[in-house]
Amino acid sequence: MNKKDEPESSNIIKYRGRFAPSPTGSLHFGSLITAIASYLEAKTSQGKWFLRIDNADFLREQDKASDSIKRSLELHGFEWDGNTHYQSNSLTLYNQKKDHLIDNDYVFRCNCSRKNLRNNPIGLNGVIYKGTCRTKNIKEDFSIRVITEHLKVAFKDEIQGHQACQIDEDIGDFTIWRRDNIISYHLATVIDDNEVGITNVVRGYDLLNSTFCQLYLQNILNYINPIYSHIPIATDANNQKLSKQFGAAELSNKLITQNLFNGLCALKQEPPTELRSDNLSNIWSWAIDNWSSKKLTMVKSITTLN
Ligand code: GLU
């Protein structure tokens, strides 16, 4: 039976994608293209698309950024399923999962400072941590790290192809809970993706190496591994990733159709020139009818003037 013909009651797990911006500033062109790609992948797979605001790290959260991102997405015509999920509502669950990892001896306390680690070799995700504190009995002022076994972690990225690393040697014991008592990005992401039953993660290439840590945690926690697609990141003329941290310009909500058109161009979809001056609804229809992630195969970055 064709997938499209399956009855609603089918037990087959349907595509569930998400967009998970951090509210460290307003939407910019780099995050817009991630939103467009993840949305179009979900829509062309007859799937659902969820919005999660990654605000577990409340120290980096900017006042009003979540509302501004949501408003911008709405104005650009994105429609997400269900309510917006805020990581700040999951703190109890995060603590339960942390306790589970502690109780089952998957983790250890570490009080190494950045300075202590500065001579360690650099691996796929920054400094490689070789288990320095694994056997110490640390009582206070600690982060929590996961014990990485001598294991190869591999996955097939839908855009970037086969990926593999030796987790203990190429990354080392990574942090799951920070010294300032905030959950790490990796642990929060796998818990939330699992809670919502995310089947497909579409995000920027800069997060590709994070996937090894996230797959490792998913396996410890008995979660299903989603399918990953890492789309190219948008960079400026100096090859610097467009990011709020480096002052990427806020998207103008007065240039919605241009933003979308430019986003589709950046994603190598080659929209026809006349679409540039068309309305929002026609741009989205064209995008859904013509979306092809194959056009991004092995592309890691895109230089843009936005
Ligand atoms: N919140 C992360 C960011 O804005 C993305 C997380 C993810 O997609 O896994 O960079």
> Domains along the chain?
2-87+198-303 (3.40.50.620), 92-177 (3.90.800.10)
Instruction: Looking at the CA of residue 206, tell me the nearest atom of ligand 1.
Output: 10
Instruction: Looking at the CA of residue 24, tell me the nearest atom of ligand 1.
Output: 4
* CB distance 21 to ligand 1 below 6 Å: yes
CA of 68 to the centre of ligand 1 (A): 17
**What's residue 80's pLDDT?**
98
pLDDT tens for the chain, 306 residues: list them.
344 444 555 556 699 999 999 999 999 999 999 999 999 999 999 999 999 999 999 999 999 999 999 999 999 999 999 999 999 999 999 999 999 999 999 999 999 998 989 889 999 999 999 999 999 999 999 999 999 999 999 999 999 999 999 999 999 999 999 999 999 999 999 999 999 999 999 999 999 999 999 999 999 999 999 999 999 999 887 888 887 666 677 899 899 999 999 999 999 999 999 999 999 999 999 999 999 999 999 999 988 866
Question: 214 CB contacts (<8 Å, ≥6 apart)?
Answer: 186, 189, 190, 193
**What's residue 10's pLDDT?**
57
CA of 152 to the centre of ligand 1 (A): 24
How many Å apart are CA 236 and CA 216, to the nearest integer?
33
Which protein residue's CA is at the shortest distance from atom 6 of ligand 1? 20
CA of 54 to the centre of ligand 1 (A): 7
How many Å apart are CA 219 and CA 104, to the nearest integer?
14
* CB distance 52 to ligand 1 below 6 Å: no
| Residues 31 and 234: beta-carbon distance below 8 Å | no
**Which residue is associated with the tokens 């997400």?**
80
Whole-model pTM: value is 0.93
Q: Which residues pair with 107 in a beta bridge?
A: 146
Question: 155 CB contacts (<8 Å, ≥6 apart)?
Answer: 162, 163, 164, 211, 215, 225, 228
The helix (H) or strand (E) run that includes residue 170 is helix 167-170
Cβ-based neighbour number of residue 113 at 10 Å: 10
**What's residue 142's pLDDT?**
97
Instruction: Looking at the CA of residue 54, tell me the nearest atom of ligand 1.
Output: 1
**What's residue 305's pLDDT?**
67
